[in-house]
Amino acid sequence: MHNVLVIEDEKLVSDMLQKVITLFGYNVKTASGGQEGLQMFEKTPFDLVITEVRMDGIDGYGVARHIRNSGRPHTPIIGISASPWLLNNDEFESFTFNSFIPKPFNIQALLNLLVEVT
């Protein structure tokens, strides 16, 4: 079973992601922000991190940079955001993230991406 960390500051989105991804056989833990997510990442070996890009405090770019500089730099990271301009961001293009899904997202597209990266 794959372990997935979802870092999302909108509880409704976080809960929905957890329920859907769990239904497809993944073990899902959630964090309500970047700091909490990084603390969880350091304690648990996750096979995938899904993070909101735009959050207060440590944002998704900060989360991704931390992971890339950690002892597990090859952990796949999927960024999610309602801001389509993020696709043109230099950090996204420099492979800080493995992939990006714009909000609102298609559940089937998300599940296809989960299978692809895990």
Mean pLDDT in residue range 30-47: 97
Rounded distance between C-alpha atoms, residue 70 and residue 111, angstroms: 26
Q: What are phi and psi of 96, to 5 degrees?
A: -60, -40
User: Predicted confidence band at 38 (pLDDT cuts at 50, 70, 90)?
Assistant: very high
User: In terms of pLDDT, which residue wins out, 118 or 73?
Assistant: 73
Instruction: Provide the whole-model pTM.
Output: 0.90
The CATH class of 3-117 is alpha beta
Rounded distance between C-alpha atoms, residue 25 and residue 92, angstroms: 28
pLDDT in tens, 73-107: 999 999 998 876 655 555 555 568 888 888 888 88
Strand, coil or helix: what is 56? coil
Q: Taking 80 as the threshold, does the pLDDT of residue 17 lie above it? A: yes
Nearest partner of 21 among 8, 37, 5, 9, judged by Cα: 5
User: Mean pLDDT over all residues of the chain?
Assistant: 88
Q: Give DSSP secondary structure letters for 75-100.
A: --EEEEES-GGGGG-HHHHTTSSSEE
Nearest partner of 81 among 55, 118, 62, judged by Cα: 55
